[in-house]
Amino acid sequence: MRFHKEGYVIMTTAALITGVIVAAIWILLGNSMGWLSALLSLVPLVFLYLIIQFFRVPNRTIAGNSTEVVCPADGKVVVIERVYEPEFLKEDCIQISIFMSPLNVHANYVPITGNVVYTKYHEGSYLVAWHPKSSTENERSTMVIETSSKKRVLVRQIAGAVARRICFYASPNHLYEKGDEFGFIKFGSRVDVFLPLDAHINVSLGQKVKNREDILATL
C-alpha cells in the first residue's frame, strides 16, 4: 500500500496540527490527569487516522479480460438504470453510479482499455452526491473511452457536498490501459459510468465494490 500524491500536503498538515494539539493537552493537564489527557488525545489522533485512510492506495490486481469493465472507484452502487446521455454519447445507455463515502479509497481508475476520445471539465454546484441532479449540475469531469471494438464507455467524476475538488489527469487522444489512474476526488463523491445498452451488468444495487478488482460489466 502507498499514499496518494494528492494527500501529501493535507496529511503533513494534519499530522503537525495533531502533534500540537496532543502536546498542548499533555502540557495543560499533565500526568496528574493522565486518563483525561489520554482520552482527549484520542480525538485528534482518530481524525488523523481517518485522513490517512482516505488517501491510501492499496495494491490490487486488475481483474477481467479485454471485454470486461472494472469498477473505476471504491464505494457502493447506488444507481443502475437506463438513461439518455446528453453530453457526448447522445443516446440511451445503462448508467451505473458508485457513491464513495469519506472512508473509501478515492483514486479513480480507467475501467477498460481504449483511446480517450473526449474529456471535459464542468464547473457546477455542490449538491449531495446522491441527489438525482448532481450528475448534471455539480462540479464534474467527463471522459469517454473508445475500445478497439469501437464501443464507447463514458466515465464521469462528480463532486459532492463535502468533496469540492476534482483532480482529473486524463488526456484526449491518449491510449489508456485498464486500471490506469485517471483522477482523484477529495472527501466523498460519486463516479458515474455510462455503458452500451447491450452490456451485461455484473453488479447489483447496494453492492459494495472495489476499484480494479470487481467487474462492473461485460461489453
| pLDDT tens per residue, range 85-144 | 999 999 999 999 999 887 888 899 999 999 999 999 987 665 555 555 556 567 889 999
Using one digit for the tens of pLDDT, what is the confidence trace for 139-184? 889 999 999 999 999 999 998 655 457 889 999 999 999 999 999 9
Q: Which long-range contacts (CB under 8 A, 24 or more apart) does 200-207 make?
A: 201/80, 201/94, 201/96, 202/68, 203/71, 203/77, 203/80, 203/96, 204/77, 204/80, 205/77, 205/78, 205/79, 205/80, 206/76, 206/77, 206/78, 207/76, 207/77
Are 170 and 82 part of one and the same domain? yes
Are 147 and 214 part of one and the same domain? yes
Question: CA 12, CA 46: separation in Å to the nearest integer?
Answer: 15
Type of residue numbered 83 = V
Are 116 and 198 part of one and the same domain? yes
Residues tagged active-site:
189
Question: Percentage of the chain with pLDDT > 90?
Answer: 56
Q: How many domains, the chain?
A: 2
- Which of 57, 86, 103 delimits the end of a domain? 57
Are 100 and 125 part of one and the same domain? yes
Q: Is residue 62 part of a domain?
A: no
Lowest mean pLDDT of 46-50, 93-97, 205-209, name the range.
Answer: 46-50
Q: What is the pLDDT of residue 130?
A: 53
Residue of 147, 145, 57 whose CA lies nearest to 108 = 57
Q: What is the pLDDT of residue 123?
A: 79
Question: CA 7, CA 14: separation in Å to the nearest integer?
Answer: 10
Are 200 and 144 part of one and the same domain? yes
Residue of 148, 146, 53, 67 whose CA lies nearest to 104 = 53
Are 156 and 209 part of one and the same domain? yes
Which helix (H) or strand (E) covers residue 98, if one does? strand 91-100
Are 49 and 98 part of one and the same domain? no
Q: Is residue 150 part of a domain?
A: yes
In angstroms, what CA-CA distances link 172 with 2, 110, 118, 123? 28, 13, 6, 19
Q: Is residue 173 part of a domain?
A: yes
Are 162 and 197 part of one and the same domain? yes
Question: Does the pLDDT value for residue 48 go beyond 70?
Answer: yes
Question: CA 154, CA 132: separation in Å to the nearest integer?
Answer: 18
Are 118 and 201 part of one and the same domain? yes
CATH number, residue 202: 2.70.70.10
Query: What confidence tier does 78 reach under pLDDT thresholds 50, 70, 90?
Result: very high
Query: What confidence tier does 2 reach under pLDDT thresholds 50, 70, 90?
Result: confident
Which helix (H) or strand (E) covers residue 37, if one does? helix 34-54
Residue carrying C-alpha cell 445507455: 93
Do 119 and 147 form a contact (C-beta atoms < 8 A)?
Answer: no
- Which residue range is the domain that position 120 belongs to? 68-218
Which residues are within 8 A (CB) of 174 and not within 5 positions of it... i.e. 6 or more apart?
115, 116
Q: Is residue 156 part of a domain?
A: yes
